[in-house]
Amino acid sequence: MKIKVQLVVCDDEGHEETLTDVVILEKACQQIEQVGLTLAEAKSLLAVLQQRIVEQQAAAFLATGMHCQTCGTALGTKGQHSRTFRTLFGTVTLTSPRLRHCQCTSQAATTFSPLMALLPEQVAPELLFMKTKWSSLVSYGLTVQALTDFLPVDATLSVSTVRSNALAVALRCEAELGDEQMSFIEGCPRDWGHLPIPDGPITVGIDGGYVRDWDEKKRQFEVIVGKSILAFKRDDAEDISSSKCFGFVQTFDAKPKRRLFEVLQSQGLQMNQQVTFMSDGGDTVRDLQLYLSPEADHLLDWFHLAMRLTVLQQTAKGLPEKKVFQSCGSAIFSQNNTTVSEESDDDPSAPLSLLSRDRYRQAWHHA
């Protein structure tokens, strides 16, 4: 069987233009794998439709810019060139005319390209969004593979292109951040009582870790990561929690507190809303939480609380410091940092939680 797909374009005045036989498909119907569109056929269909649709949109836009906006005189044409526009459904090539400015206006340049006003960038925002979204979840290589497998994107899409696009989006987001402040608490308690009833409480978990530099192996930098969970939104019919993650490099980020505050603001933070911060009590994460909300509670998470209790238990039992370190060093550090071992009361040397030697030394000195 032969299937023809046609595109009908209607302008603002109601006139219809039919682009005959945009796509012609030859389909059999004897086996199950022949039923419906295949992935290759769907990608080809989307690519052709995208090309035709963008061509019609560009032509309609250029039709309104071929005359002077001041006096209405038709603008002279100096030449034309091709303009490439990469979209989520294929790469589109358009003809971009170059026009001369009207003599009734004074311009620094004598010519201009009107299509540049419609397409200032060569990559569609939706394609840029998908590249950035997937590259934030998986590697750049898997992002390229996923996009090329399921969408008719440019076959020349490379890892370096995805990486540069993701970096450009990140830099633009960084530029939109406000200035860093010591305190983000606004208003006074008298005003907070008149605020609307807030959404559910927000719970924020923050932790840090050291990562070895790829180029300078002897150098390490601290990475702070966290997750903010909103219990529920008061306007929603169902109590569905929403969560957002954040992260930054402590030694390089100049706006760490602003970054965390913007995450809380995106979840609808109000000055009368309950916020609970959970961390290991370290200096970097503790300073990060301060002066963000007047209703904030700062808690030591169970793992690090158990670690400090371990030190107190060992001290109370009178074990020498050397034996304590040996017992700690033989323990296996839990990967998720949440499990606490069940020790017998008969074994005074068993730690309450599984922890590393460095963390145990730090907890010992703090105790």
Determine the pLDDT at residue 353.
Answer: 40
343 vs 365: CA distance, rounded Å: 24
Residue 66 has pLDDT above 90, yes or no: no
341 vs 349: CA distance, rounded Å: 13
Q: What is the pLDDT of residues 321-351, one digit of tens each?
A: 555 445 444 443 333 443 333 444 444 444 4
pLDDT band at 111 (very low <50, low <70, confident <90, very high): confident
Q: What is the pLDDT of residues 268-277, one digit of tens each?
A: 999 999 999 9
Determine the pLDDT at residue 92.
Answer: 93
Q: Of 23-27, 62-66, 158-162, which one has max mean pLDDT?
A: 158-162
245 vs 228: CA distance, rounded Å: 6
Q: E strands of the chain, at which residues?
A: 2-10, 16-26, 77-87, 90-100, 111-112, 202-212, 220-230, 242-249, 275-279, 296-300
Residue 352 has pLDDT above 60, yes or no: no
How do the domains of the chain map onto residue ranges? 2-118, 125-176, 197-300, 303-366
Q: What is the pLDDT of residues 196-228, one digit of tens each?
A: 999 999 999 999 888 888 888 888 888 999 999
Tell me which residue of 321, 327, 353 sits closest to 339, measured CA to CA.
353
Q: What is the pLDDT of residues 269-328, one digit of tens each?
A: 999 999 999 988 888 888 899 999 999 999 887 777 788 788 888 888 875 555 544 544
Write out the H or E segment, with its range, that includes residue 347: none
